[in-house]
Amino acid sequence: MPAITLTYFAAVRAAAGGATSETYEADSVSTAQAAAIAAHGTELKRLFTISSFLINGKAAAQSDLVAPVTQALRVDVLPPFAGG
Number of domains in the chain: 1
Per-residue pLDDT tens over the stretch 12-49: 999 999 999 999 999 999 999 999 999 999 999 999 99
- Residue 45 in any domain: the answer is yes
Contact 72, 3 (CB under 8 A): yes
- The whole-model pTM stands at 0.94
Per-residue pLDDT tens over the stretch 5-14: 999 999 999 9
Specify the length of the chain in residues: 84
- pLDDT the model gives residue 81: 81
- Residue 83 in any domain: the answer is no
Segments forming the whole domain that contains residue 54: 3-78
Task: Say whether 16 sits in a helix, a strand or coil.
Answer: coil
> At 20, which CATH number?
3.10.20.30
